[in-house]
Amino acid sequence: MKKIMDMTPDELKNALITGSVTVCVVGIGRIGLPTALSFANSGLFTIGLDINSELVKNINSGIYPLKDEPEYDIIFDKVINEKKFFATTDIKKSVTKADIILLSLPTPMDKNNVPDYSALRSVGKQLSEYLSEGSIVIIESTIEPGFVENEFVSIIEGLQNRLKVEKNFAIGVCPETANPGEIMVDFTKLPRLVAGINENITNLIHEIYHFVFPVELIHMPNCKTASAVKLTTNVFRDVNIAFVNELSLLFEKLGIDTMTVLKAAQSKYNFQVHYPGAGVGGPCLPVNSYQILNSGKNVGIDSLKLVKACREINESMPQHVIELLQDCFAESNLDVKGSTILILGISYKPNVKDIQLSPAEPIIQKLSELGAHIRIFDPYFVNEKVYGIQSEDNLNNALVESDAALIITAHKEFLDIEPYLFSSKLKNKILVDSRGIVDPKTAKNIGLIFRGLGRGI
């Protein structure tokens, strides 16, 4: 077979249809595994590579690890049975066999909020050793604009003279756009950006993704522009959430209900609504903002003021939520110290089992420091040890044993709770709602000591 990077788009299409192309997905976590399963399900032999040996063992034993991703459980069973997919920790064996290497590695931050590309760099070094000539490397991870062109290509080329980009290996990006919890929907609906190191490679990457995903593929002029688009769309959300968070702080003091304002504001044709909350977490938004800030630093822009302010506001929200709770305790003449506080929801967003960078963590930590006993009820974490706390399995029991409740995540299971449940069960009838779920007037009427984030009255 002709080397994949030297094929015409039509030749590649045929190779894909006949299943004569091998794919290796490096990093089979939250996004990487569904990606690998999609490739395998399209008929391509797919290897999932990960350093997590327990994950690899479980997968190869037929245990599907992503319980909150519908439909992929069925595909998982199918491709495992058909032997179209297996997992491994052996990078040499998997990469040397592959024509297409997808990198779905985490790009988190360190403790100083500096983006951490060590996983990509480490894999890049090994690609330098093991990559088969003529193969195509595609980065799906969210990276800073220029990372491919200025750094990653040289890492793969390495110090030996074996590999030279565009000559005997190719590279490109196709940033993932999936939302945890709804990856199947996103992989079949959301347009994706594709960019290669040159236009030919862009066209080949197009063929590859077109074969697997029934979505619109948008060609970018280069890798850095694709990364810029990915960051722009996510930081847009972080900034707009910061905006409504900032308004919420103001409206609380002005006696204005932010939820009423946002509902009416949506009647304006050019307004797009975002909602305030206890903080912005998850694997994307906070990191993406720091990636943009880091990109700025690298070209001598000392501070991107707006993005910096955005992060400061969103990172201050956990403290504000704690202050709302302290207000309630003061109003009740009670001490936070020694009290029992029930945290409702710890996921960083509704309806998923995921606590990456969740505001629940700093809130629980601070309340513990203040001497409160913390209980956790989250329908996605039942009877599990999280943040060193054994989570509850029964909301009623948990309420009865708590002085106060604090809603952090707007899980769908919380939306229909009758507010009366809080006033009738809680020992001290204190409720703080950081997600606009409970109507403030109802809360007062039924005797709750209540604070709602942004809900001035």
Q: Tokens in use for 54?
A: 């327990």
Closer to its own copies at the Cβ: 145 or 362?
Answer: 145
Amino acid at the residue 136: I
CA nearest 93: which of 41, 26, 5, 160? 26
Closer to its own copies at the Cβ: 159 or 299?
Answer: 299
Query: What is the C-alpha separation between 374 and 360, in angstroms, rounded?
Result: 11
Element (H, E) at 49: strand 45-49
CA nearest 26: which of 115, 82, 144, 107? 107
Closest contact distance (angstroms) between CB of 297 and its own copies is 10
Closest contact distance (angstroms) between CB of 308 and its own copies is 7
59 with 28: CB under 8 angstroms? yes
Closest contact distance (angstroms) between CB of 362 and its own copies is 19
- The string of DSSP letters for 204-230 reads HHHHHHHHH--S-EEE-SSHHHHHHHH
Closest contact distance (angstroms) between CB of 435 and its own copies is 18
Closest contact distance (angstroms) between CB of 170 and its own copies is 21
Closest contact distance (angstroms) between CB of 290 and its own copies is 14
50 with 90: CB under 8 angstroms? no
Closer to its own copies at the Cβ: 221 or 338?
Answer: 221
Closer to its own copies at the Cβ: 194 or 346?
Answer: 194
Closer to its own copies at the Cβ: 145 or 345?
Answer: 145
Closer to its own copies at the Cβ: 48 or 452?
Answer: 452
Element (H, E) at 254: helix 223-254
Assign residue 451 a region: left if phi > 0, alpha if psi is -120 to 50, beta otherwise? beta
CA distances (Å), origin 373, targets 41, 69, 321, 370, 422: 48, 33, 17, 9, 18
DSSP one-letter code for 101: E
Closest contact distance (angstroms) between CB of 453 and its own copies is 15
317 with 245: CB under 8 angstroms? yes
Closest contact distance (angstroms) between CB of 273 and its own copies is 9
Q: Tokens in use for 454?
A: 């942004």
Closest contact distance (angstroms) between CB of 291 and its own copies is 11
Closer to its own copies at the Cβ: 311 or 429?
Answer: 311
Closer to its own copies at the Cβ: 260 or 396?
Answer: 260
Closest contact distance (angstroms) between CB of 320 and its own copies is 12
Query: What is the C-alpha separation between 219 and 77, in angstroms, rounded?
Result: 34
Task: Give the residue ranges of DSSP H helices in 255-381.
Answer: 258-265, 285-298, 305-331, 360-369
Closer to its own copies at the Cβ: 132 or 225?
Answer: 225
Binding stretches for its own copies (CB under 8 A)? 145-146, 177, 190-191, 193, 216, 218, 220-221, 224-226, 228-229, 232-233, 235-237, 239-240, 242-243, 246-247, 249-251, 253-257, 260-262, 264-265, 267-272, 292, 295-296, 299-301, 304-310, 312-313
Residue the block writes with tokens 């999609």:
38
Closer to its own copies at the Cβ: 253 or 412?
Answer: 253
> Strand 389-390 and strand 385-386: pairing?
antiparallel
Query: What is the C-alpha separation between 242 and 79, in angstroms, rounded?
Result: 43
